[in-house]
Chain A
Amino acid sequence: MDPGVDHAGTSFAVMSFSAEGRAVARRWAAALTATGAPVWAWHGDGATERALAELRDRLDGATVGWRLMLAGPEADVLRARSLAVERDAIDAEIRVHVCGTGRKRVWCAHCGGTTETECEAGQAVACANCGRGLLVHDHVSRRHAAYLGVLADPET
């Protein structure tokens, strides 16, 4: 559900990923333009290193009053959110809207590698790093921005 814009903020960063995310971000930007607050907007396919570097720059220059708004697939939104929290943003300063594909990140409990894939909790995926068959658990690390993956069949 769209959380809408936080009118208590005095400056905003809006990041969107995927076409669905872009549509949401446009709605937000329109609502924010009406308030006259400065808005920085960024759009891309995903939370790539380049996207995260851009966000890092914004975070480093941000003063209290700044708000971050994220729209797009879960994997990308979680990654951007995780970076913001690592750089001292708090929950009250971040609004997210997950939309688009079911792309998730799965963190392998055995090798520590992260696999990005379309999946649901309860499904099995192959770890991109060590090749183990992982069961995706319904457990999200907001710091790792990933679901927990544990060996699906420990007998093998």
Chain B
Amino acid sequence: MTGLELVVTRSAEVVPGVRELVLARPDGGPLPAHPAGSHVVAECGERRNAYSLTNGGAEPREYAVAVLRRPGGRGGSAWLHERRPGDPLVVSAPRCAFAPVLTARRHLLVAGGIGITPMLAHVRDAVRWNRDVELLYAHRPDAPAYAADLDRLLGERLRRTSDRREFRGLLGDALRRQPLGTHLYVCGPAPLMELVTDTAEAAGWPAQRVHRERFTAAEVAPGTPFTARLRRSGRDVAVAAGTTLLDALHAAGVAVPSMCRQGVCGECRVPVLAGQPQHRDEYLDEHERAAGTCVLPCVSRSETGVLEVDL
């Protein structure tokens, strides 16, 4: 990863459990510009985690991320929560798979919990360019991160609630009254994403108008053991339950480039020659999935006892 070597310039807990880190170049110089909805992959000690940038993306001199502490996580968020001004931090260049569709007549944003982070960038961008935007924000009663910023930026165009039933009502209502030309953007925990996607589908939204950003790796089951057969090197690598194919390959000394380790970026994609992959990623489209000719080893596994790959 050709990383950007940045330093933390501000570090503050915006609500309990959520720490905002502001990053800049050591010389304060300009950073790569990026569309709203971009994320960076941060090197957090031993781990690499993806975080949405909450800043506006035009001529940035600072990148801002908001990190939710995950006590049961793999340690990346806890490590980031210990960063203080002056600490170095390496992040990837921004990447984006969740940009606003510039031809849209209107932008309906729906966020749940820490899924508010890419939406903050969307809102800032929309306000800056005077785009028609509306945000529906579901949060826990005690911790509406960035509520004050969003109130100020959006006024009446923000509706937020911590009541599940009220959220369903607001969501159904919002999805049924959008003018043709509206695009929908969703980010939040998996159940919320599913609820929004299903409600939109029932209201007749074509998939092309619905844009989803996953901020956590799916709570994937450990899966069953299988064997990865490496055709080019003629080796078999055993993949135990609870171990990813990527980790098993790395442990066997097979170099596979990887980045997000969450099935989002596509960096680790490997061609499949035989066997049927069990796709668990967010990257491949339905045709690629059905074809079964490649797999993202960071999250995906095998339906068959043996998965033969071109390595």
Contact = CB atoms under 8 A, between A and B. Distances in A.
A66 interface: yes
Given A59-B180, A63-B176, A92 B204 contact: no
Interface in B163-209: 175-182, 201, 203-209
B208 A64 contact: no
Given A87-B181, A89-B180, A64 B175 contact: yes
A64 B180 contact: yes
A62 B207 contact: no
A63 B179 contact: yes
B180 A92 contact: no
Contact of A87 (B175, B176, B180, B201): B180
Nearest to A67: B204
A63 B177 CA distance: 6
Nearest to B206: A92
Contacts of B208: 90-92
A9 interface: yes
Nearest to B184: A64
Q: Chain A CB within 10 Å — which of B175, B179, B204 has the most?
A: B204
Contacts of A155: none
Contacts of A66: 180, 204
Nearest to B207: A92
B172 to A, nearest CB: 12
Interface residues of A, number: 18
A115 to B, nearest CB: 30
Contacts of B176: 63, 65
Contact of A65 (B103, B205, B207): B205
B180 to A, nearest CB: 4
Contacts of B105: 88
Contacts of A89: 180-181
Interface in B89-132: 103-105
Given A87-B180, A88-B105, A88-B181, A64 B209 contact: yes
Interface in A64-85: 64-67
A8 B180 contact: no
A147 to B, nearest CB: 25
A10 B203 contact: yes
B179 A8 contact: no
A1 B207 CA distance: 24
B181 A65 contact: no
Contact of A93 (B103, B104, B179, B206): B206
Nearest to A7: B204
B102 to A, nearest CB: 13
B203 A65 contact: yes
Nearest to B200: A64
A63 B175 CA distance: 9
A99 B155 CA distance: 51
Contact of A64 (B103, B182, B207): B182
Nearest to A11: B204
Nearest to A62: B180
B201 A8 contact: yes
B207 A88 contact: no
Contacts of A67: 204
A8 B180 CA distance: 15
A87 B209 CA distance: 15
A63 B182 CA distance: 9
A88 B208 CA distance: 13
Given A8-B204, A66-B180, 19 more contacts: A8-B201, A8-B206, A10-B203, A59-B180, A63-B178, A63-B180, A64-B180, A64-B204, A64-B209, A65-B203, A65-B204, A65-B205, A66-B204, A87-B181, A88-B103, A88-B179, A89-B180, A89-B181, A90-B209
Interface of A: 8-11, 59, 62-67, 87-93
Q: Which 5 A-B pairs have the closest CB atoms?
A: A88-B181, A65-B204, A10-B204, A92-B206, A62-B180
15 contacts: A8-B206, A63-B177, A63-B179, A64-B175, A64-B180, A64-B182, A65-B203, A65-B204, A66-B180, A66-B204, A87-B181, A88-B104, A88-B105, A89-B180, A89-B181
